[in-house]
Each structure stands twice: as C-alpha cells, then as structure tokens.
C-alpha cells in the first residue's frame, strides 16, 4: 500500500490524500496535443486509490492499454488550505517530488469528443506514480528543472519558469474551489514530450538533476 515517503526513505507522517492535477500548464505541451491555451487552469482530481510509489515495478494493465506518461512536478501539502493566500501556500508545502500522470490517451480523446468527464482515462488505479519527496525548505519553486528519462534517454524536461501559471498561484487557484488537506498532492502540469509506455521500459525521475527514483514497467492483466 502506498504511503508518502521522503528521499531518505523515511515515511512522511501524512496520510495519503487526493491528487489535484493541472492540465495544459505548458504552452508546448498544449500545442503537441492540439489543445487550446486555457484562459484559466484546467483542474481534475485523482483519488488516493490512484497513487502508487516508485519502490517497485510499475504495472501497466493490458486491459487499459495503451497508457501514456506525463511527468510533472508534484507538491506535498501539510496543512489545510481553503481560499489560500500565497503566504498560506508557502507555509503548507511540506515537500516537492516528481510524479507521472498516467493517461489512457485514446480513451480521453473519445470522452472529450462526447463532452464526458475524464475519470476513466485519468483516475484509474495506479494512474498517479509518485516519487519520494525532498523537503520544501530552501527549494525554489519558480526556477527548477525536473525530468523523465526512458531507457536512458531524456524524454521530458520540465522547467518551472516556463509554466503558464506558477506553482504557488496554481495552488491558490485550486483552493478557491477545493480544500486541500494534509497529505494531498498537487501535480502542476506536464511539459512537451508525452508518449506511450511499454513493457520493459526503464524509467528515471529527476529533480534539479538529482535522481529521485528508478523503476521499470511490466505488463499486468
């Protein structure tokens, strides 16, 4: 069962909550999927049951395939936030990590065409892959890099300075609609370079050029 962990392998003393995710927060990613640039952040939620760690192999359900990856900077919340100010947000961030927002892209496209919600494409079990977190203290959210390598090849390279909506502003916006509770995480949007995962892929998640997690994909029923 998943639980939040720090990079030093210690368990974070926070429950596993929901993941609030941001769509289309990088111009180049919106363009690669032929999506318009949104006027305000696109929000959706993954339940706690969707979150898995990186300490074991990532099971890709053959029944749900194909499954695409989207690497994102993730933020761990430690205090309740409702209609938060930037100061409130900065006091409530416990840690920073990298997550994979796994997506059934073909299913998502069909749901969009019908004007239906995205949960079947975005919120399935195991669809939020979360690295260990590093402590937030001293971390520069406005100018940091993160990435995903697949089979030793740099595949996605994110830079928070290129976000349409900066991290703190995003979290303030989220809390105008959804209360964030201790143990919730926020996925802040993916850069360009998304694609399909395959059985046997070796994945590496990095933050500020430091390796946070290394794991492999396996096919599952």
Segment 112-122, tens digit of pLDDT:
999 999 999 99
Cis upstream peptide for 99 (omega within 30°): no
Q: What is the pLDDT of residues 146-201, one digit of tens each?
A: 999 999 999 999 999 999 999 999 999 999 999 999 999 999 999 999 999 999 99
Superfamily of domain covering 19-220: Fumarylacetoacetase-like, C-terminal domain (3.90.850.10)
Answer for the pair 46, 21: CB distance below 8 angstroms, yes or no. yes
Q: What is the pLDDT of residues 46-68, one digit of tens each?
A: 999 999 999 999 999 999 999 99
pLDDT band at 45 (very low <50, low <70, confident <90, very high): very high
Residue 101, pLDDT score: 98
Residue 28, pLDDT score: 83
Q: Which two tokens stand for residue 130?
A: 């979360």
Residue 35, pLDDT score: 78
Burial class (CB in 10 A: 0-12, 13-18, 19+), 209: exposed
Domain positions in the chain are: 19-220
Residue 95, pLDDT score: 98
Residue 9, pLDDT score: 87
> What rounded mean pLDDT belongs to the chain?
95
pLDDT band at 29 (very low <50, low <70, confident <90, very high): confident
């Amino acid at each position: 069962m998943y639980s939040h962990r720090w990079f030093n392998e210690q368990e974070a003393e926070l429950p596993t909550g929901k993941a609030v995710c941001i769509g289309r927060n990088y111009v180049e990613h919106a363009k690669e999927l032929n999506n318009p640039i949104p006027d305000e952040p696109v929000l959706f939620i993954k339940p706690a049951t969707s979150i898995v760690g990186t300490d074991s192999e990532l099971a890709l359900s053959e029944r749900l395939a194909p499954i695409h990856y989207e690497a994102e900077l993730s933020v761990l919340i430690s205090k309740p936030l409702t209609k938060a100010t930037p100061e409130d947000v900065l006091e409530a961030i416990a840690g920073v990590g990298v997550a994979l927002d796994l997506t059934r892209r073909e299913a998502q496209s069909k749901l969009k065409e019908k004007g239906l919600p995205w949960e079947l494409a975005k919120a399935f079990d195991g669809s939020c892959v979360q690295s260990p977190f590093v402590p937030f203290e001293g971390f520069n959210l406005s100018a940091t890099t993160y990435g995903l390598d697949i089979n030793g090849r740099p595949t996605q390279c994110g830079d928070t300075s290129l976000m349409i909506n900066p991290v703190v502003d995003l979290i303030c916006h989220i809390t105008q609609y959804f209360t964030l509770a201790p143990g919730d995480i926020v996925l802040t949007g993916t850069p360009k370079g998304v694609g399909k995962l395959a059985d046997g892929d070796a994945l590496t998640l990095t933050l500020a050029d430091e390796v946070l997690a290394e794991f492999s994909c396996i096919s599952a029923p």
